[in-house]
Every structure is written in C-alpha cells, then in structure tokens.
Amino acid sequence: MKNFLYKNFKIKKELGQNFLIDYNVKNNIINYINLKENDTIFEIGPGFGHLTEFLFKHVKKLSVIEIDDKLTYFLKKKFFNKRINIFNKNVLKFNFFKYNTSNNLIRIVGNLPYNISVPIIFHCLSFIKIIKDIHFMVQYEVGNKISAPVNNKFYSKLSIFVQYYFLVKKIFKIDSKSFYPSPKVKSYFIKLIPRKKNIYKKININNFKYIVSTAFQQRRKILKNSLSKIFSENTLINLGINPFLRAQNLTILEYCVLTENFSK
C-alpha cells in the first residue's frame, strides 16, 4: 500500500512532508478526539488522506487544506462524490471565518509540517473565537515547549505566548516510525483548548510580547539585569516580583502584572 502510493510521488522536504501511516496511532487519535456527527472539522495537511479516511467516517462536515497540487488532485479523485471540501491552499493564508459555513465552533486537526508548526498555531489565534479545540501532531521539542510549566527547562516565551490563549495538553508521544518518510525525531499529539474566559488579565498584547521576549533574550541573567531597560529593581520589588529570579521563573500572571504596569 505504502509503496504503491509513494512510487510516483516525489516527497517535498521543503513542505515538511512526513505522512502518518501507523494504523494504531490514527485509531488512537480518532478515539481521543471523540468526534460527533455534527462536528465541523478542518484537517490541515491531509497528505494522501490516511487520517482523512478515519475522520470522514464520523462527521458530516469535513474540510481539508492541502498546499501540494499533486496531493490535492489525488485527494479529489480518492474522495470523489464524498462529503469533503478540499482546499488547495496555504494554511497560513487560510481564512477559517470565510470557509466555516456552519454555525458550529470548528475543530482543527492536523499532522503539522515541523518547519511551520509554530506559525500555524499562531495563525489559528486569529480565529480563536470560532475554535472549539485543536488537535495537532507536532515535533517532540515543540510539544514540550508549548506545554511546559513555569520553572521547567522547556519553559520559554513560546510556552507563555501559547498558554496565554490556550490550555495545552500533551496527549501521547508518536514514534518516528509511524511516519513515512521517518523524521529524525519523535512527535507529540497535543490538544489546544481556547481560553474563552481568559484567566489572565486583559493587557496590551504587544507590550506583553515585548516584555516576555526581552526577558528571554538573556534568560540566564536575573531579571533586574535582563529587564533593566524596562523596569528598575525597585519597581520589580514594588510589583511583588523578585528581581533575582530569571525569565523562566516567572508565571504568566506575573508577566501580565509587569505588562499592566508598563502600560500605565
């Protein structure tokens, strides 16, 4: 089956094409997502439609977004006359508002190309108001970073930016042998749930990103040094922030406190 599909297809490394081929992994994904018949599903990067076949069996409304022209042509033949909308588009330019023709919140699923997994996650932020949840396969390191808690070695500005908007859950690891061609690293299957009622303070997000980015530019330095151009040591103390901590020791809420003060 695998040889037949890939015999005449040239893998495009620049598109990060690593196709999920493990039946058990696909089955585990479907079981975990717990699809309902009336769910509105968008799949990113369906490839040859291996996971698409599983999704299609459970829902009435399924749309897939594939940038590769040849794969799009293949999918249209494979799913001819089926209830699937197939978009030959770059997901980073895809407007989920425009193509969500239902009144439902959408559920997004995808085996993401490693080279653009983070940009895709941030692109989804623009549509967070209509997203119910997101289930992605991402590079092992990315999964660790976006889910890392404070004081963890993987805790970074990426952790903070993503967790400000989403509750992040790492579901299970996926071995590299579950893909073709096999990548050099393992993957994580993760779930992102939008924080509809954000537990964090409403702040100027640009200022928030600026402060967090500045702190992590020199993450080995203590805050009174890494943030010296923005806050004095006394200001940090008055805000209840220990100036001798480092960037990875501050919670998201504490970064919100800094941002609120900076905005004033």
- For residues 29 and 8, membership in a common domain is answered with yes
Residue 236 gets which letter from DSSP?
H
CA 184 – CA 166 distance, rounded (Å): 28
pLDDT digits 0-9 by tens, 153-187: 999 999 999 999 999 999 999 999 998 777 788 99
Question: In this structure, is residue 106 part of a structural domain?
Answer: yes
Sequence letter at residue 149: P
The gap from C-alpha 152 to its chain's centroid, in whole angstroms, comes to 20
Sequence letter at residue 101: T
- For residues 103 and 212, membership in a common domain is answered with no
- For residues 66 and 190, membership in a common domain is answered with yes
Question: What total number of domains does the chain contain?
Answer: 2
Question: In this structure, is residue 103 part of a structural domain?
Answer: yes
Question: In this structure, is residue 199 part of a structural domain?
Answer: no
pLDDT, position 16: 53
- Lowest model confidence (mean pLDDT) among 78-82, 198-202, 243-247, 255-259: 198-202
- For residues 140 and 189, membership in a common domain is answered with yes
How much is the pTM? Answer: 0.90
- For residues 184 and 209, membership in a common domain is answered with no
The CATH code of the domain that includes 216 is 1.10.8.100
Cβ neighbours of 187 (radius 10 Å):
28
- For residues 128 and 62, membership in a common domain is answered with yes
- For residues 121 and 217, membership in a common domain is answered with no
Question: In this structure, is residue 13 part of a structural domain?
Answer: yes
Identify whether 113 is preceded by a cis peptide bond (ω within 30 of 0): no
Which residue matches tokens 């080995």? 220
Structure tokens, 8:
């005449």
Residue 3 pLDDT > 70, yes or no?
no
- For residues 37 and 89, membership in a common domain is answered with yes
CA 226 – CA 77 distance, rounded (Å): 56
Instruction: Determine the structural domain holding residue 251 and report its residue range.
Output: 205-263
- For residues 132 and 252, membership in a common domain is answered with no
- For residues 103 and 217, membership in a common domain is answered with no
The gap from C-alpha 263 to its chain's centroid, in whole angstroms, comes to 29
Give the CA distances from residue 208 to residues 50, 153, 238, 246, in Å, rounded to whole numbers and listed in that order.
Answer: 40, 21, 19, 17
